[in-house]
Amino acid sequence: MALIVQKYGGTSVANTERIMSVAERVVSTAKQGNQVVVVVSAMAGETDKLIKFAHEIMEMPDEREMDLLLSSGERVTSALMAIAVQKLGCKSMSFTGRQVGIITDSSHTKAMIEHIEAGRLRLALDEGKIPVVAGFQGIDEFSDVTTLGRGGSDTTAVAIAAALKADLCEIYTDVEGVYTTDPRIVKDARKLEKITYEEMLEMASLGAKVLHGRSVEFAKKYNVPLVVRSSFNDAPGTLVIKEDQYMEKIVVSGVAADKNQVRITIMGVPDNPGIAARIFNQIAGANIVVDMIVQNISSDTKATDMSFTVSRADSKKAFEIAKEVSDKLEAKGVNMNTDVAKVSIVGVGMVSHFGVAAKMFETLAREGINIMMISTSEIKVSCVIDAKYTELAVRVLHDVFNLANS
Ligand code: ADP
Ligand code: ASP
Ligand code: MG
């Protein structure tokens, strides 16, 4: 008997008809002799709707309150799913994050799972029940509800699979697996049969929202066998696994885009030791993750421009902090560009090939796309560009690295 964790995303549980159809898949997996734990997202659009309500009342609502609000979407679907499974004649029980003991830190709206007390889930399984867990949420040491960041139900599923030492974690979504790039942007994007944890981690953190970045970190750390597949058909999906020899040969395996970033520039910062530490310590102190940083040497040798990117959700907070720091440092001021996007190429084989980054820059240049910031690692190259060129950049890069056919 295998233990399988199945996670169903928003589109897969968008209405009661879809919930019944998912329940049939769950029951059929159980009837094949497996133990099944189900993790569900909120119905498609529900989380956005809740955020919109809060913003109608206040521009920067309190994050603790946001977490209680947002966690309600997943609670609705977990209860409806348990009812649907029961209707099909199987025992089932729904659980909130708190009820299954998903313990997180206290960083509201982007909490990290610290551990899972899986006793209650094990008990339900031993009693022959199909547990249905509300994804995306946990509780902190003060018993306050937390959420794991947008797309976080994937992480709930993988963390539960790791805690229960499940044989498999299946992520059911609205595409047939992980593709060379977003199949909604590039029609001839190719479905990958397998992808390494490392590449998937990069793709996810660079904007391929098919998997939540932290879910891949968990899968890699605890060696959870992970499959991404469609809840709309029986196609086999994509396996996320450890690197193997065949994979090392692939130079570029995917293109990702992220429109969820903004660029903030502090102008005319004094060019002295310790200034960068001062700026970024303040930002880190507000629980904001900075992605790219570029320091421009200006013609005036005593001052420099410092640009960095943060996620859109953190932009207002980061901008306020940048303004405070700018005033204190007597810098020339701060500006924020919200119309930027980050496009990236990813591949484990890049480390042993020359000219990959140059080819990316040339390709963007040929289309007249200006590169505002660059960052590289052994397995990725990212460029920040004007958001209006995102789709074009993804298409030409997918093309020039021959991803449709490789
Ligand atoms: P769910 O609600 O099931 O969690 P998401 O919307 O979070 O689904 O993620 C699935 C979406 O991810 C797809 O509809 C697709 O548009 C997008 N996506 C972006 N990059 C990729 C990629 N490389 N492969 C597959 N899907 C991708
Ligand atoms: N409902 C949450 C979101 O929309 C979490 C998830 O779907 O994974 O971000
Ligand atoms: Mg998702």
Instruction: For ligand 1, say whether the CB of 41 is within 6 Å of any of its atoms.
Output: yes
Distance 208 CA to ligand 2 centre (A): 14
Q: What are phi and psi of 150, to 5 degrees?
A: -55, 135
* Nearest Cα residue to 227 out of 257, 195, 255, 251: 195
Residue 243 falls within a domain, yes or no? Answer: no
The verdict on 156 and 261 lying in the same domain is no
The verdict on 62 and 169 lying in the same domain is yes
Q: What is the 3-state secondary structure (H, E, C) of 282-332?
A: HHHHCCCCEEEEEEEECCCCCEEEEEEEEEHHHHHHHHHHHHHHHHHHCCC
Report the number of distinct structural domains present in the chain: 2
Residue 320 falls within a domain, yes or no? Answer: yes
Q: Which amino acid is at 317?
A: K
Q: What are phi and psi of 331, to 5 degrees?
A: -80, 175
Residue 163 falls within a domain, yes or no? Answer: yes
How do the pLDDT tens digits run along the chain, 406 residues long?
899 999 999 999 999 999 999 999 999 999 999 999 999 999 999 999 999 999 999 988 999 999 999 999 999 999 999 999 999 999 999 999 999 999 999 999 999 999 999 999 999 999 999 999 999 999 999 999 999 999 999 999 999 999 999 999 999 999 999 999 999 999 999 999 999 999 999 999 999 999 999 999 999 999 999 999 999 999 999 999 987 755 556 788 899 999 999 999 999 998 888 888 989 999 999 989 999 998 877 666 678 899 999 999 899 999 999 999 999 989 999 999 999 999 999 988 887 778 899 999 999 999 999 999 999 988 899 999 999 999 999 999 999 999 998 7
What is the pLDDT at residue 301? 65
* Nearest Cα residue to 107 out of 75, 81, 142, 77: 142
Any idea what the CATH number is for the domain that residue 120 is in?
A: 3.40.1160.10
End residue of a domain, out of 116, 145, 174: 174
Instruction: For ligand 1, say whether the CB of 152 is within 6 Å of any of its atoms.
Output: no
Residue 190 falls within a domain, yes or no? Answer: no
Distance 110 CA to ligand 2 centre (A): 12
Any idea what the CATH number is for the domain that residue 389 is in?
A: 3.30.2130.10
Instruction: For ligand 1, say whether the CB of 10 is within 6 Å of any of its atoms.
Output: yes
The verdict on 28 and 135 lying in the same domain is yes
Question: In this structure, what token pair is assigned to residue 299?
Answer: 């013609």
Instruction: For ligand 1, say whether the CB of 146 is within 6 Å of any of its atoms.
Output: no
Instruction: For ligand 1, say whether the CB of 122 is within 6 Å of any of its atoms.
Output: no
Rounded CA gap, 2 and 104, in Å? Answer: 28
The verdict on 371 and 259 lying in the same domain is yes
Considering just the CA atoms, what is the radius of gyration of the chain in Å?
Answer: 22
End residue of a domain, out of 174, 196, 211: 174
- Nearest Cα residue to atom 27 of ligand 1: 182
Q: Classify 370 as helix, strand or coil.
A: coil
The verdict on 159 and 37 lying in the same domain is yes
Strand partners, 195: 240
**What pTM, to 2 d.p., does this model score?**
0.92
Which atom in ligand 1 lies closest to the alpha carbon of residue 209?
A: 12
The verdict on 12 and 104 lying in the same domain is yes
End residue of a domain, out of 152, 174, 196: 174
The verdict on 119 and 8 lying in the same domain is yes
The verdict on 263 and 366 lying in the same domain is yes
Distance 47 CA to ligand 2 centre (A): 7
Residue 212 falls within a domain, yes or no? Answer: no
Which atom in ligand 1 lies closest to the alpha carbon of residue 11?
A: 2
Which residues, in sequence order, are CB contacts of 149 under 8 Å at separation 6+?
Answer: 109, 110, 111, 212, 214
Which atom in ligand 2 lies closest to the alpha carbon of residue 48?
A: 4
From 67, 136, 137, give the residue whose CB has the most ligand 2 atoms within 8 Å, as the site to mutate: 136
Sign of CA dihedral 14, 77, 210, 285: positive
The verdict on 147 and 23 lying in the same domain is yes
Q: What are phi and psi of 3, to 5 degrees?
A: -105, 120
Q: How far is CA 255 from CA 238, 251, 282, 360, 392, in A?
A: 16, 12, 33, 11, 12
Residue 318 falls within a domain, yes or no? Answer: yes
Residue 130 falls within a domain, yes or no? Answer: yes
What is the pLDDT at residue 249? 63
Distance 7 CA to ligand 3 centre (A): 10
The verdict on 163 and 34 lying in the same domain is yes
Domain limits at 300? 255-400
Nearest 5 degrees, angle CA 160-CA 162-CA 163?
Answer: 65
The verdict on 133 and 265 lying in the same domain is no
Residue 385 falls within a domain, yes or no? Answer: yes
Rounded CA gap, 359 and 163, in Å? Answer: 43
Which atom in ligand 1 lies closest to the alpha carbon of residue 153?
A: 4
The verdict on 46 and 155 lying in the same domain is yes
